[in-house]
Amino acid sequence: MTLTSIEWKAVSAGYNGTTVIENIDFAVRRGQRVGLIGRNGAGKTTTLATAMGFTQLRGGSILIDGKSAASLSPSRRSNLGIGWVPQTRDVFRSLTVEENLLAGLKSQPATRLDRAYEFFPRLAERRRNLGSALSGGEQQMLSIARALMGDPGIILMDEPLEGLAPVVAAEVMQTIRRLADEQEVGIVLVEQHVGLVTEFCEDILVLERGQPTFHGATKDLLANPDILDRAIGLAR
């Protein structure tokens, strides 16, 4: 059964006794595009990581297809259909591109490789190259392609364009659009390029010091630029 929704319901969470986010309340459904924006340290990464089970949940609940995920390990959540693209990329540097992809295969058929290579032809050309031999952009492509291998219903993306040259970032973003359009996956996108987020996402959650200051349609956010000026302070 394909994953259809993740809900953050009044979530508070953090690490090692420190609460980082509080009162996070939003949902993403298959086919939906939700953006998370805010200054560095606002809690965006923690919000995504909490859905994966990587943080200490202090309050509220994560619901996966309407059921509490409290007892589920990160690997179990991944197997249920959550794709995870971390900011750190986490490519296995000592494995080839193809071995990295096979590591994300889970119970899916090996034919998923063809789908990954269709979305990322450059990876097909470098399938025998080690992860350590890839450029930053190629590593990011590999991280996204590996998340795709498990046939996710929803993918959580933490700053997938960070550190990429503009031409490479544009290529990666184009592929993310294809994933959303052709695979009909839900995407939660954390990205410092606010203009890209507001262009790509239909809904936006704005975080400020670990708490939501806006959640709603992108068009409503753009109609209130003072929210961006106060909470983001970034070029739009």
Does the residue 136 lie in any domain?
no
Does the residue 167 lie in any domain?
yes
What's the confidence (pLDDT) of residue 118?
A: 93
The boundaries of the domain holding residue 210 are: 5-89+154-231
In angstroms, how far is CA 17 from the centroid of its own chain?
25
What's the confidence (pLDDT) of residue 10?
A: 98
- Whichever domain contains 69, its CATH number is 3.40.50.300
Residue spans of alpha helices (H) in 20-151: 44-52, 74-79, 97-103, 112-119, 121-125, 136-149
Does the residue 84 lie in any domain?
yes
Q: Are 206 and 221 in contact (CB under 8 A)?
A: yes
Dump pLDDT digits (tens) for 59-116.
999 999 999 999 999 999 999 999 999 998 889 999 999 999 998 887 778 788 998 9
pLDDT band at 234 (very low <50, low <70, confident <90, very high): very low
Does the residue 65 lie in any domain?
yes
Does the residue 117 lie in any domain?
no
What's the confidence (pLDDT) of residue 150?
A: 86
Which residues, 6 or more positions from 221, have their beta carbon under 8 angstroms from its beta carbon? Answer: 198, 204, 206, 214, 227, 228
Among residues 61, 64, 84, which one has the least CA distance to residue 3? 64
Indicate whether 236 pLDDT > 60: no
Q: Are 212 and 228 in contact (CB under 8 A)?
A: no
Does the residue 118 lie in any domain?
no
235 or 23, greater pLDDT: 23
Does the residue 213 lie in any domain?
yes
Structure tokens at 168: 């490479």
Rounded CA gap, 7 and 220, in Å? 21
Burial bucket for residue 192 (CB in 10 Å: 0-12, 13-18, 19+):
middle
Does the residue 137 lie in any domain?
no
Domain count, the chain: 1
Burial bucket for residue 186 (CB in 10 Å: 0-12, 13-18, 19+):
buried
